[in-house]
Structure 1
């Protein structure tokens, strides 16, 4: 269980940032769900829940998801899920249970860049950016590769690019962490293949996705599958071996591509 010396309900992002950077042990508070499983000693805990950052907004060009939006809000948002073929709904619906998803925030999930994160895997396959309070708007790919810094993730921004997308995961049990998670999308800008739960954090398979044309042949798909297994790093833990994950990646990526190009349906 974590400890916290002081709790502050922030009145503005500027106040929250000022408090965050005053001490090394100061932290932004999300849903506190994974944090309570550790032994972290927090100096000042900063709560953003009074700043109206729990909304999903839509315009003609993008969806903007506030950092305090819960995973359950994302799971049940009809417009968001209709546009992206339910990829976000399917990426969160097996995370523990409804009570958990009613508390877990998208900001905490993405900022932490957990290796087991389903939602990070799904968002990486879309045209996604993050808005940082001081760092500005950057691509999710760049954010994933950055070191952890004292900043506040304010919004998740997903561009509307008429993509088709699919998400699949393999778990030992319905609410367990994923053995492997895969998200694939196809738009006018080409394919994106995101693989997470390796158990390393999600990453794009750039060589594999570049091997696919807009209407890929069987040969192109097989090349992409071989590259998915070889270009990314897979590890071994209690849920699966490196070799098992490499095989799973090829199977799940192929099924996602088939869902996109042929309408084939696979259940998680």
Structure 2
């Protein structure tokens, strides 16, 4: 359990950023779902609850998700259920339990770059962007590649296109952290293959996806699945070995590609 000496509730994002950066170990407080698992000594916790970041805006060209939106709100969102074959609500639906999803936020899931994140895997397949207070707006893929820096995640932005998508995950039990998760999407002839819980953070298998641009046949699916497993790196932890993850990657990627290919 973490320890905290003070709590600040700023009224503006600028004020929140100023407090956050005043001391090295000052920390943003979202739902505190993941903070409870650590043992940090926090001088000041920055509570973002007054910043009006709990919105899911279904705009003309985008869907905007505020950083303080809970995973449960994502799971129940009609706009997200109707976009990308409902991949994002599906991806969060098995995260631990409803009580946990009622407090865990999309901002905490994305900004922390957790390797086991179901959220990041699905968002990468949807070509999502993030907007940071200081860092500005960038693709989620670019954000994940940048060195960690103190900043405030304001929102996640999903472009609204005709993209179809599918999500697959392997767990020891329904509410456990994933052993491996996979998201695949297609927009016209462009494919995205994403593999997470490797156990490192989710990553695009760029070269593997290129094997699908000329058409989806059983052979192409097999080749892309094999290529994704070869292109990405895998590691060991208490849930599975690197070798097991690599083998399961072929299975899950193949299933996800076939599911997307079958979408009308």
Do the structures match in fold with TM over 0.5?
A: yes
Determine helix, strand or coil for the equivalent of 1:134.
coil
Q: Greater shift after overlay, 22-31 or 211-220?
A: 211-220
- Which residue is 1:151 aligned to? 151
Determine helix, strand or coil for the equivalent of 2:94.
coil
Gaps of 5+ in 1: none
Determine helix, strand or coil for the equivalent of 2:85.
coil
Q: Greater shift after overlay, 30-39 or 210-219?
A: 210-219
Deviation readout 1:188-230 (Å, 9 max, x if unpaired)? 3600011001111100001111111263122322221111111
- Which residue is 1:90 aligned to? 90
Structure 1 residues 189 and 263, CA gap change in structure 2 (3 angstroms): closer
Deviation readout 1:64-110 (Å, 9 max, x if unpaired)? 00000000000000111111211111111111111110000000000
Gaps of 5+ in 2: none
The answer to whether structure 1 residue 136 and structure 2 residue 139 are counterparts is no
- Which residue is 2:234 aligned to? 234
The RMSD of aligned alpha carbons is 1.2
Kept in 2: contact 1:27–1:46 (CA 8 A): yes
Determine helix, strand or coil for the equivalent of 2:191.
strand
- Runs of 4+ in structure 1 over 3 Å off: none
Determine helix, strand or coil for the equivalent of 1:43.
strand
Q: Greater shift after overlay, 218-227 or 245-254?
A: 218-227
The answer to whether structure 1 residue 50 and structure 2 residue 43 are counterparts is no
Kept in 2: contact 1:213–1:220 (CA 8 A): no
- CA–CA separation in structure 2 for the residues paired with 1:214 and 1:261: 13
Structure 1 segment 1-268 matched on structure 2, within 5 A: 1-188=1-188, 190-213=190-213, 215-263=215-263
- CA–CA separation in structure 2 for the residues paired with 1:188 and 1:40: 47
Determine helix, strand or coil for the equivalent of 1:86.
helix
> How many residues are paired up?
264
Q: Greater shift after overlay, 126-135 or 186-195?
A: 186-195
TM-score of the pair, normalised by structure 2: 0.97
